[in-house]
Amino acid sequence: MPLIHLPDDILFNVLNLLSPPDILLLRKTCKRLQALTTERTVWTNVYRNPEYFLQPGAPDSQTVPDLERVILHAHRWATVWTDFNTLRKRRPRFSTINLPDTRYLAEYQGQYLAIGTATSLILYDLHVEKIIYRYGISTQPFWLYIHSNTKDNDAAFYIPFARVLRNDASTLQLCICKVDSSGNASIDEIAGIQISRNCITGIGYDFFLAQGASGDISLLYIPSQKLYTISAGTPVQQLSNVIFTPGYVLLIFTEYSNTVERKYLELYPLPDPMVIETGTHILPLHCGTLSMHFSEASFFSTDLSVDGNEIIWLVVLAGPQLCTLRISLQPDGTMDFHKPHYDTHHLPERTLAHAFDLRFTASSNSSRGRGIARVATPKLSGWLTFDVRRSVDGNVSIARTIVDKDILPSLLMYDFDAYQGLLCGVNDDDEVIVLKLVQ
């Protein structure tokens, strides 16, 4: 039976098996298939394909042509992601932003680039390739190097920074730049939070957390500026990691004793600002202790065990390796850990290696994540990419690729958008560069 004589429901199933370029080729064969391949159902089905690293859920406002463009971009990006050597044949699009004395850089929503200099905060629109906002800072700014690993398209995003008070150079004033869905920016100065030059901070899900020099931990709900305090249960004062997860914030404290690295983990609920009054002390729901070395950690996924206990998955950077850490939340408030066995000094070149500056994005619509980190060895400097997948049965696979610096350039500071295939950073010439790895 000819293909075009099959009923629509069978043809839709056939289309689900094709790649986006093949669907477009099939569209050219006849009027009936042309009509079918322009149905929104076809492209929303392709959008759900776990092989493509996409934002969660195709927005209803997107037209079919918009969906096609997004999915074709994801298809091309998947090809590059699995083999960066393709960039040797077709170099990525490269653009430069000339700004003096860049000290901070962060990318948001695949469209905006926040750039901090010695005197101002600048918001650059990557779509129209121009500066859309500039905020002059009258006193010396202090940039908070925070990178959230949840890069979903929110209605607004926040850029926290601090500035020196005019009459007290030792005191820093917390400021937060809010950018709405239209790219309009405004600045709020936040009182009541202690900011020091060596403070540990984190941001996620409309909350901002900071540990001051005295060890006090403050939690701010940014939209209403409601301020809460964290009552840490561990005697260890050295907060090393702040990880926001859906509904929680996980604090990791690090202690070194007789060359042994010990981690203290405390999980706190994110307060409902409509119910919980400002000034409330937030107590930990779960605590645990772990002997394990890792330098950086990011949220990956959540799950339920067969016993109904909630599970939080992290990815942690140890030496040149990215590993998963499984945390099971027990009914008695403790944590059970399943940690990997890993060799922190293994690379194909068999040289001492160290990876750092991890940028990891967890996709909230599937158990997948993509990350990139800089790597340095006595004989190698370049990049490591990580593709993390968790199957239905709970098994996790991590594919790691070494990318030479002749493919991706060395950068002093950078940010990475795993959805768009966008690498932004500052090179040795103090230029802000934007590399679009997918054409």
Distances from the Cα of 34 to the Cαs of 17, 31, 37, 195, 327, in angstroms? 17, 5, 5, 59, 49
pLDDT band at 349 (very low <50, low <70, confident <90, very high): very low
Distances from the Cα of 80 to the Cαs of 157, 172, 360, 403, in angstroms? 29, 43, 17, 12
pLDDT on residue 351: 47
Q: Which of 97-101, 302-306, 333-337, 380-384 has the lowest mean pLDDT?
A: 380-384
Q: Is 192 helix (H, G, I), strand (E, B) or coil?
A: coil
pLDDT on residue 380: 66
Region 176-197 average pLDDT? 90
pLDDT band at 345 (very low <50, low <70, confident <90, very high): very low
Total count of residues recorded for the chain: 439
Determine the Cα–Cα distance for residues 326 and 396; give it in Å rounded to an integer.
10
Distances from the Cα of 133 to the Cαs of 105, 158, 185, 417, in angstroms? 15, 14, 7, 21
237-251 core/surface letters (b: 16 or more CB in 10 A; e: else): eebbbbbbbeebbbb
CA 430 to chain centroid, in Å, comes to 24
Q: Dihedral (C-alpha) 376, 379, 383, 385: value to the nearest 10 degrees?
A: -100
The model scores a pTM over 0.85: yes
Residue 230 makes CB contacts below 8 A (sequence gap 6+) with 209, 217, 218, 219, 251, 268, 281, 282
Region 378-385 average pLDDT? 80
Q: Is 72 helix (H, G, I), strand (E, B) or coil?
A: helix
CB 56 within 8 A of CB 363: yes
Distances from the Cα of 38 to the Cαs of 21, 33, 49, 66, in angstroms? 13, 9, 18, 11
pLDDT on residue 234: 73
Task: State the alpha helices, DSSP H only, in 37-169.
Answer: 40-47, 64-82, 86-89
Region 373-387 average pLDDT? 83
Neighbours of 50 (CB within 10 A): 12
CB 8 within 8 A of CB 36: yes
Strand pairing class (157-165; 141-143)? antiparallel
CB 232 within 8 A of CB 266: yes
Sheet holding 368-376, edge to edge: 354-363, 368-376, 381-390, 396-404
Task: State the alpha helices, DSSP H only, in 106-238.
Answer: none
pLDDT over threshold 90, residue 107:
yes
Determine the Cα–Cα distance for residues 350 and 30; give it in Å rounded to an integer.
56
pLDDT over threshold 90, residue 154:
no
Task: Return phi, psi of residue 89, to 5°.
Answer: -80, -40
DSSP E strands, 332-428 = 335-338, 354-363, 368-376, 381-390, 396-404, 413-417, 422-426
Residues of the chain with pLDDT > 90: what percent?
47
Determine the Cα–Cα distance for residues 175 and 354; give it in Å rounded to an integer.
34
Determine the Cα–Cα distance for residues 168 and 58; give it in Å rounded to an integer.
50
pLDDT over threshold 50, residue 348:
no
Q: Kindly tell me the burial class for residue 280, based on how many C-beta atoms sit within 10 Å of its own C-beta (0-12, 13-18, 19 or more).
A: middle
Select from 180, 267, 268, 273 the least CA-distant residue to 222: 273
Write the DSSP string, 259-290: TEEEEEEEEEEPP-TTTSPTTPEEPPSEEEEE
pLDDT on residue 87: 85
